[in-house]
Chain A
Amino acid sequence: MKRKVSIFNLINYCVLALVGFSMIYPFIYILAYSLNDGKDSMLGALYFLPRKFTWDNYAQVFDNARIWQAYKITLMRTILGTFLHVVLCSLLAYALSKKSLPGRSFFAFYIFLPTIFSAGFIPYFITLQKLHLINSFWVYVIPMLFNFMHVVIIRTFLQGIPAELEESARIDGYGDFQIFLRIILPLSGPVLATISLFIGVAHWNDWFTGAYYVSDKNLIPVQTLLQQMLSQAEALSSSMARSAQQGGQTISASAQGSTPESLRMALLVVTVFPILCIYPFLQRYFVKGVMIGSVKG
């Protein structure tokens, strides 16, 4: 009995270590690739550490005007979109958390109903067209201002704040808006951090809007830029790799410099890095957010 348990433990630890490794390894690999000389990387056999270390790929990525423009769009939409989303959703959630509000359950149902039956892509697309949002920067921000689930998560949190706090503030002469600003918001730090993470990541990662609702090259975010590089890259890298493997051995010793593939990996790291830095610190918050979200849903 005792031995059997330890075998179970051994296998379990191995499996889980493998799972953890498989989650992080792709990122280690692209980091190594992006810090390695581009032409040298084509020879393959690059696994954990760069062989010919260089900052060159990053220098070129940051030197590219198109990438800068795309990065600027991504940053702008993420900051503006996250801020507005969090403010507006918490206002709505605060109102819906008031048990005394006449019509409260009607309004709660009003925002819930569309989650059961969605109209689908096309009527939504036509609506965007009619609002002149197609090919405008605001198509990134306005359609993502609200989210039913996020409102529910914030509301559930607000309902946990003791009512006595509000009452005593009222006795001190605070108005409704002041109570929201001075009492409710400061107490809602954890839930607002969670929602900011959720919506911030959604903004940062959204490539679809840029690809299908926007055609102006100057309005495209980084993720859409990466998507446009996808199909070209597959053909390019395989043909280059083939030539490198065939005649490469003699040339490779002297060949140096970036390749489209090494630039793409550097861009990928630049895209992923900010998120990787943030999420571990918000972990204990979003775990709670997910629980509220799925229990109430």
Chain B
Amino acid sequence: MMAPNLRKRIWQHKIFYLFMLPGIVWFFIFSYVPLFGIQVAFRDYTFSGGFTGSPWAGLKYFQQFFDYYKSAEIIRNTIIISFMKLAVGFLMPIILAILLNEVRSLKFKKTVQTLSYLPHFVSWIVVVTLMQRLLTPYGGPVNDLLGVFGVQPIQFLYNTSWFYQVILGSDIWKNIGWNSIIYMAAIAGVDQQLYEAAKIDGANRFRQIWHVTLPGVRNIAIILFILSIGSLMSAGYEQLLLLNGPATAGIGSVLDVHVITSGISEGRLSYAAAVGLFQSIIGLILILTVNRIARKVSDVSLF
């Protein structure tokens, strides 16, 4: 039996439970029901059977994925692309924040900041459309600029030799400004007296950055690093759905896109669910491992 005290408190708060009700129902339907539905990866899914009525299939679909002659390639591509994005995409915002912090003119700083947030607010469709226009070898401004330096027009998009550069470049362009916000905030929180002290000790600009600014962003950088490790098995499906074509499939096919095309476009739902589950589990293991390492090495961790 509940203590009458608690029952009274619950009754007093009845209106707040009412406020929460839509949220509780929504999270149940859109987060917990799909979690429960993971079992389709182990079943031969049929529409009439649903999550629980379809016949069991064991590990058949996992087997199918690992037997697929391209599965190793897909896993490799996913890791290469997301690792590149992690290495470069993680450092770039920190560098931008540090450079911006060294600017004395407030107006200039504000302008660059505002401009750098801009690409975050447009969709990947817009980004890719812009790239098609700007990078086209047929009279596009980028190739015209390169032409001034005597470079022959380059087919940048859907071309294996430029694929990684295009993926990485567009990812940085879209996210660098937005991701630097948090570092700007961390730097703003650094005690100004530390800079004064460093100056008195004779530290120049670079040493001030190294000894004062960088330690100031260390904790937040570690946390964001752990978070991005968790998504190492997903390479960014929106970007890759749009930027990967038949010509670059050998180095551009990744897990997320494979799940979407085999599942939603081709209707092989159980197979795609198995691939997706494999991806989620590896992601979870990675994030737990890195979190543990970070806690041991640096005392900073997510949970």
Contacts and interface: CB of A to CB of B under 8 A. Distances in A.
Given A114-B35, A177-B15, A268-B126, A29 B139 contact: no
Contacts of B157: 234
Contacts of A117: 35, 280, 284
Contacts of B223: 294
Interface stretch (B25-33, B69-77, B160-168): B25-33
A114 B27 contact: yes
B173 interface: yes
Interface in B270-286: 272-273, 276-277, 279-280, 284
27 contacts: A12-B103, A15-B99, A19-B112, A23-B177, A27-B130, A46-B141, A95-B16, A98-B13, A114-B27, A117-B280, A117-B284, A119-B280, A120-B34, A121-B260, A122-B41, A123-B37, A124-B34, A126-B269, A146-B26, A177-B15, A205-B126, A212-B264, A223-B123, A234-B132, A268-B129, A272-B126, A291-B181
B interface bracket (residues with beta carbon within 8 Å of A): 35 or more
Contacts of A223: 123, 125-126
Contacts of B23: 88-89, 91-92, 111, 146, 151
A245 B136 CA distance: 14
Given A42-B139, A126-B269, A287-B181, A120 B279 contact: yes
Nearest to A287: B181
User: Considering residues B23, B128, B277, which has the most beta carbons from chain A within 10 angstroms of its beta carbon?
Assistant: B23
A233 to B, nearest CB: 7
A297 B227 contact: yes
A257 interface: no
A212 B260 contact: yes
Given A100-B13, A126-B40, A130-B50, A120 B259 contact: yes
Nearest to B6: A102
Interface of B: 6, 9-10, 13, 15-17, 19-20, 22-24, 26-27, 29-38, 40-41, 45, 47, 50-51, 96, 99-100, 102-104, 108, 111-112, 114-119, 121-126, 128-130, 132-134, 136-141, 144, 157-158, 173, 176-178, 181-182, 184-185, 204-206, 220, 223-224, 227, 238, 242, 256, 259-260, 263-265, 269, 272-273, 276-277, 279-280, 284
Contact of B32 (A29, A114, A146): A114
Contacts of B40: 122-123, 126
Q: What's the dominant secondary structure at chain A's contact region? A: helix
A218 interface: no
Interface of A: 1, 4-5, 8-9, 12-13, 15-17, 19-20, 22-24, 26-27, 29-30, 33, 42-47, 88-89, 91-92, 94-96, 98, 100-103, 107, 110-111, 113-114, 116-127, 129-131, 143, 145-146, 151, 175-177, 180, 201, 204-208, 212, 223, 226-227, 229-230, 233-234, 237-238, 241-242, 245, 261, 264-265, 268, 271-272, 275-276, 279-280, 283, 287, 290-291, 294-295, 297
A123 B138 contact: no
Nearest to B124: A207
A208 B124 CA distance: 10
A102 B13 contact: yes
Contacts of B158: 234
Contacts of A43: 139
A283 B242 CA distance: 29
A95 B273 contact: no
B116 to A, nearest CB: 5
A8 B277 CA distance: 50
A291 B10 CA distance: 33
Contacts of A261: 133
Contacts of A143: 30
A122 B6 contact: no
B49 to A, nearest CB: 11
